[in-house]
A and B are shown apart, each in its own frame.
Chain A
Amino acid sequence: MTKSLLTLAILSSTAFADDPAPKIDISKLPQQTQMVDEVVVPVPSEIFTVLDKLGKPNWTAVLRAPKGTLKSFGTEPQIALRLGTVIAEGFVAVEAEDATAVKDIGKSVLSLATALSVDKEVKRRANAIIGAADAKDWKLVRKELDGALREVKDAMKSLNSEQLSHLVSLGGWLRGTEALCDVVNKNYSKDGADLLRQQMLLSYFDGKLKVMSKDKALKHVLIPKIQAGLTGIQPLIGLSPDADISAKSVKEIGDITAGLVKAIQTK
């Protein structure tokens, strides 16, 4: 099974026989804490699909295009985090419709994947990203970037590097969140800021980092640094389900994630 899921024993066994129950008691779900481990992490395309509907931000100003093909440095945890940030940058490059940047990002994804021994699985995707960028087929580039992210993670799991695969997701989430904050900061709207309401994902990543911090093979100065960053973000997006996320909070989240992304991308 790709993902193990939580059994919902608390629900009435006939709850959905004909009509579904109009309300269930989420607080009484058994082993609720375990559900945090099983949250579905959305693909970046889902967030960018919303952003498409909220206007036309200046993505060129948000884009940090790599200069040529990036080379790997550091140990595996840092490379995995960096690979995640690069894939996320690919989505920004698509929004900016910058074919050169997308192609450099495609090559950089392959370069970093090689350092993690998952290049074989990613090569086809990287080539597809480059080909679609040449054709300026932005929708296809997005699809291939989503696919690259999945294949990197699947390949890592098959190499028994599941923890590293979580770091790829986390790197992508950090850069994606930084870019999102940047866009919302430039033209604040409640709907835009609402995209940051991702408490369950924060808890999910925090849980993964806690496990990793006990693993000597994954020991890296970035792990506690990112844990501290996530702890700082939590109150800014989790005050109340109905409370708006203020412009000040968006800026603070942006500052925290920018600092972490910079640390990931620095030798």
Chain B
Amino acid sequence: MKRFIFQLLTILTLSLTNVCATVDDALSYALEGATPYVKEGFTVREDWWGGDLAVKTQKAVVHQLFKNNQYWFWIGTESPTSKVTVHVYDSDGNLCEVEAFSKGRIAGARVIPKKTGTYYIIVEIEKSDRERTHWAMAYGFR
């Protein structure tokens, strides 16, 4: 019985470590995407959002943005062969980013909000070699 519990705990610990590692990987790539823009004066918030997604599915992050600021949203994934995209829509559902890029496991979108209000950051895993791919989002403002 003791052996069984030990094995179970080992499996649980390894699983948890794996989950943390994969999300950490994703976050490190999101922050890699942010690096050039920090030099342009963007302040990166010390927080992140994320999870895991199947291929061709999306997540929405609902965000309050302020007119007169500009924002960059950066996404990273755990998988080197994945392709991720991010796009930003306003509260009327209009695509509102001024630029966006998708370079494999890293993607970004820049927004200059025309008005203060609610915006929707849409993340999609376009392709991946995994059933579910961990992703993380960071953002910056100036």
Contact = CB atoms under 8 A, between A and B. Distances in A.
B61 A38 contact: yes
Given A7-B59, A26-B92, A146-B46, A200 B64 contact: yes
Interface string A24-52: 11110100000110111111011101100
A197 B113 CA distance: 13
B92 to A, nearest CB: 7
Given A26-B91, A194-B67, A2 B115 contact: no
Which has the most chain A C-beta neighbours within 10 Å: B64, B67, B89?
B64
A3 B49 contact: yes
21 contacts: A1-B51, A2-B49, A2-B50, A7-B58, A11-B122, A16-B126, A20-B95, A23-B94, A24-B93, A24-B122, A38-B61, A39-B62, A45-B141, A50-B67, A146-B45, A146-B46, A150-B46, A191-B68, A197-B116, A201-B64, A241-B91
A5 interface: yes
B60 A5 contact: yes
B27 to A, nearest CB: 10
Interface string A135-159: 0000000010011001000000000
Interface of A: 1-9, 11, 13-17, 20-27, 29, 35-36, 38-43, 45-47, 49-50, 53-54, 143, 146-147, 150, 191, 194-201, 241-242
B12 to A, nearest CB: 17
A49 B64 contact: no
Nearest to A6: B60
B66 A42 contact: yes
Contacts of A1: 23, 50-51
Which has the most chain B C-beta neighbours within 10 Å: A13, A36, A196?
A13
B43 A143 contact: yes
Given A197-B115, A197-B116, A8 B59 contact: yes
3 smallest CB-CB distances across A and B, nearest first, come from A20-B87, A8-B58, A200-B118
B91 to A, nearest CB: 7
B56 interface: yes
Given A16-B85, A197-B115, A5 B64 contact: no
